[in-house]
Amino acid sequence: MNDPLAASGIVVVDKPQGLTSHDVVARLRRIFGTRKVGHAGTLDPMATGVLVAGIERGTKLLAHLVAHDKVYETTIRLGASTTTDDAEGDVVDTHDASAVTDEAIRAEVARLTGEIMQVPSKVSAIKIGGRRAHELARAGEEVDIPARPVTIHAFDLAEMRRHDGVVDADARVHCSSGTYVRSLGRDLGAALGVGGHLIALRRLRVGPFTISAARTLDQLEDAPALSLTLDEALTRAWPVLDVTEEEYAALAMGKWLEPRGLKGVHAAVGPDGRAVALVKEQGKRLATVFVARPSTL
């Protein structure tokens, strides 16, 4: 039986430095020969690592993947602040960080761990009054972004190197969706009174999608292939709920089922092993939040 979604799924890209996430999407459109390509969770040009892209109907899944937690490796330079909170921006302030002790750095890192309130970077993609913060900032407009709650599950320092009045601190960050690692570097430097910004950032994981499964754009050029089919992506990223053929057909039409006592989103999978939808209990209904295989296909 032919599957109309055989070409739909997820590609896990190891984004190179210097390209925007949009640049990566443009390359993938050429590689896979389709306009239906999107990505979940923007990476700045300076950043490298896991960029999850959707192909064909996989693009419809991306909005649900953005909510997953993420893991990064980063290097924070203490002793200088920049306009963008990373090395892409202009240096606006410098301080001699030589006297900042490892103990002081670790103490402030501990304060930035757990549930915190964070102000996103002024050059982030956050929308303020319908416009992106980075667009306002580059137009010279004052950007006032309200703090919002994020969770830093782990903020682990590794090596700390001192040279030329700065401290370069390597760290691994496990954080909730919506966290800006650039803001962590900025806030760490501010708390220590010397300023801070990122000089390296690599994303290692987005939910269940890891750097070990990622491929470079050159590798994809040589051998275009999905990292995960739509079925594999759904059942990898969410717990599975087995449904009957009748329930499968109902969900394919967007109908709701009787509640099962489930917590959170589940991937509903039919007897043939195919995922029909993402479902979630809402009141007294088990409702669809995304239909992978609508009955119209």
Domains of the chain (ranges, CATH numbers): 9-68+207-231 (3.30.2350.10), 72-200 (3.30.2350.10), 238-291 (2.30.130.10)
DSSP assignments along the chain, one per residue: ---TTTT-EEEEEEEPTT--HHHHHHHHHHHHT-S-EEEES---TT-EEEEEEEEGGGGGGHHHHTTS-EEEEEEEEETEEETTSBTTS-EEEE---TT--HHHHHHHHHHTSEEEEEPPPTTSS-EETTEEHHHHHHTT----PPPEEEEEEEEEEEEEEEETTEEEEEEEEEE-TT--HHHHHHHHHHHTTS-EEEEEEEEEEETTEEGGG-B-HHHHHHS---SEEHHHHHHHHS-EEE--HHHHHHHHTT--B------S-EEEE-TTS-EEEEEEEETTEEEEEEESS-TT-
Confidence of residue 144 (pLDDT cuts 50, 70, 90): confident
Residue 44 confidence (pLDDT): 87
Per the CB < 8 A criterion, the answer to whether 46 and 88 are in contact is yes
| Average pLDDT score over residue span 47-67 | 93
Question: Does the pLDDT value for residue 139 go beyond 60?
Answer: no
| Average pLDDT score over residue span 13-26 | 96
- The residues annotated with a catalytic role in the active site are 44
Question: Does the pLDDT value for residue 10 go beyond 90?
Answer: yes
User: 228-267, pLDDT tens digit by residue?
Assistant: 999 999 999 999 999 999 999 999 999 999 999 999 999 9
Question: Does the pLDDT value for residue 31 go beyond 80?
Answer: yes
Residue 22 confidence (pLDDT): 94
Confidence of residue 171 (pLDDT cuts 50, 70, 90): very high
- What share of the chain has pLDDT > 90, as a percent? 80
